[in-house]
């Protein structure tokens, strides 16, 4: 009777774990392993992240958020980048300066993006690009601008390709942190 009772208790814990963990893992949180140097100095090769797949069901992605998405040219690959331009905006990169033109075309809503919060002052955004975003497109850049394949080379990111936003860095342990979008 003791062995059966113990087995039944273990089985109940296993079933309860499956009922709770599997749906959370499948529909709410997703692990992601950073590969490559495109997001340095903020994320490094081998960083283990938790991606929030759920919150974009209730709100739109915001400028500055770090997201994971299916690469538009090969959806079997997942990329990690930072959102720079929002739907309906025009993003211009010229002489290392990123200028955002609002969707309404209002001069007062045009601004130069100040990324000093998450990029070193020596980091330059190379390229000469001007991209008008549709109402379901984003402009994304890697933080390591010199070594990043991003919207400068392959174009805008369709909203449907977004998997979710990076919520937490779990590994390495000394870099554990909640990942927040910067204030511009």
Say which of 12, 38, 130, 149 is annotated catalytic: 38
Q: Are 53 and 27 in contact (CB under 8 A)?
A: yes
- The number of angstroms, rounded, from the C-alpha of 32 to the middle of its chain's C-alpha atoms is 11
Taking a C-beta distance cutoff of 8 angstroms, is the pair 139, 130 a contact? no
How many CB atoms are closer than 10 A to CB 8? 10
User: Is residue 129 a contact partner of residue 91, using CB atoms and an 8 Å limit?
Assistant: yes
Among all chains, which residue has been given the structure tokens 């990076």?
Answer: 166
Is 38 considered catalytic here? yes
Look up tokens 């062995």; give the residue: 3
Q: Are 51 and 29 in contact (CB under 8 A)?
A: yes
Please indicate whether residue 81 is annotated as part of the active site.
yes
Q: For the chain, how long is the longest CA-to-CA vector?
A: 78
Structural contact between residues 28 and 52, judged by C-beta atoms closer than 8 angstroms: yes
Q: Give the integer Cα–Cα distance in Å for 111 and 97.
A: 10
Indicate which residue of 5, 81, 149, 156 is catalytic: 81
Residue positions annotated with a catalytic role:
38, 81
């Amino acid at each position: 009777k003791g062995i059966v009772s113990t087995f039944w208790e273990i089985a109940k814990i296993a079933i309860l774990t499956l009922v709770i963990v599997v749906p959370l893992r499948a529909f709410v949180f997703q692990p992601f392993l950073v590969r490559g140097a495109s997001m340095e100095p903020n994320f490094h090769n081998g960083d283990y992240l938790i991606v929030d797949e759920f919150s974009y069901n209730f709100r739109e992605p915001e400028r500055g958020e770090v997201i994971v998405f299916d690469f538009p040219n090969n959806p079997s690959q997942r990329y990690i980048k930072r959102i720079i331009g929002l739907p309906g905006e025009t993003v211009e990169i010229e002489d290392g300066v990123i200028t955002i033109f609002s969707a309404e075309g209002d001069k007062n809503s045009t601004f130069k993006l100040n990324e000093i919060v998450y990029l070193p002052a020596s980091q330059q955004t190379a390229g000469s690009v001007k991209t008008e975003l549709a109402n379901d497109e984003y402009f994304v850049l890697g933080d390591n601008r010199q070594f990043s394949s991003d919207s400068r080379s392959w174009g805008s990111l369709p909203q449907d390709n977004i998997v979710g936003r990076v919520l937490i860095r779990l590994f390495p342990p000394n870099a554990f942190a909640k990942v927040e979008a910067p204030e511009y």
